[in-house]
Amino acid sequence: MRLLVSVRSAAEARAAVTGGADIVDAKEPARGSLGPVEPAVLRAILEALPSGTPLSIALGDLQHPAAVANTLARLDRVKAGSADRAAELYVKVGLAGIRDAALARAVLGAVVEAARLGPVRPAVVAVAYADHERAGALPRDVVAGLAADAGAAGVLLDTWGKDGRDLFAWASPADLQRWLDATRRRGLLTALAGSLSAAGVRAAAGLEPHVVGVRGAACDGGRCGLVSEARVRELAAEITRSHPAEATA
């Protein structure tokens, strides 16, 4: 199991890595749950990472296949002009505002195809929302099925609204466990996030997703504050305490 920490600057990326984050995620929290950072910021984050650090990049919520090409092209230009430091590269794509499964399938298929044909070739992670009704999105089970059909690498279950309610306000541990088991059976990487506190990280880790993601719990001052090395270290310790065998393997 790995800890993902979302960062909005090169300084935060360094703090996350030093604190023990397994995956650094480039995201601008002021722009919502999947807010993309500016190209210059993404370039700075890439250049701040030690060689081999896995990187995830939030691309936002895409609502039409026509938006895919321009989004991925911007990513290709940034990556091509910076040091090739990320051993693993993921892009996260949400589907807020899409209630039609055929349109969602078309968007995900376009992202996977563009990623496959481009020079960067990131792995695609579809984002489902536990609070899908207020996101105007499809339920998490449907998104997982569409992601598998489209050839995506994985699914992240997050919260669209950032109002203090965490993932467990929208889904019980038993419901989350069923979703994780079903998503893994589809051959997909699984990730849980959504305003998780340190206690929430502990609870999420107990469900054994492949990845647990955080932003606010890693920051001094909440999700729009600054990532703290000390906070990341404590969250990494929560993961280790949940799975001590992995730490000694």
Is-catalytic flag, 92? yes
pLDDT of residue 213: 98
Q: Which domains does the chain have, with CATH numbers?
A: 2-248 (3.20.20.380)
Q: Are the beta carbons of 150 and 115 closer than 8 angstroms?
A: no
pLDDT at 75: 77
Strand 154-158 to 226-227 pairing? unpaired
Query: Are 188 and 153 within 8 A, CB to CB?
Result: yes
Burial class of residue 40, CB neighbours in 10 A (0-12, 13-18, 19+): exposed
Ramachandran quadrant class, 151 (left: phi over 0; alpha: psi -120 to 50; beta: rest): left
pLDDT, one tens digit per residue, over 195-231 is: 999 999 999 999 999 999 999 999 999 999 999 999 9
Of 73-77, 98-102, 152-156, 162-166, least confident by mean pLDDT is 73-77
Told to judge if 162 belongs to the known catalytic residues of this protein, a careful annotator would answer no
What is the Cα–Cα distance from 141 to 145, expressed in whole angstroms?
6
45-74 pLDDT tens trace: 999 999 889 999 999 999 999 888 888 877
Residues in CB range of 183: below 8 A, 6 or more apart: 144, 155, 190
Q: Cα(191)–Cα(73) distance, rounded to whole angstroms? A: 26
| Active-site choice (8, 14, 79, 92) | 92
In this structure, what DSSP letter does residue 7 have?
E
- According to DSSP, the β-strands at 189-192 and 89-94 are unpaired
Mean pLDDT of 12-28: 97
pLDDT at 79: 63
SS3 category, 127 = strand
What is the rounded distance in angstroms from the CA atom of residue 89 to the CA atom of residue 87?
Answer: 7
- The Cα 180–Cα 187 span in angstroms is 11
Q: What percent of the chain has pLDDT over 90?
A: 80
CA gyration radius for the chain?
Answer: 17
Which of these is catalytic: 5, 13, 26, 27?
27
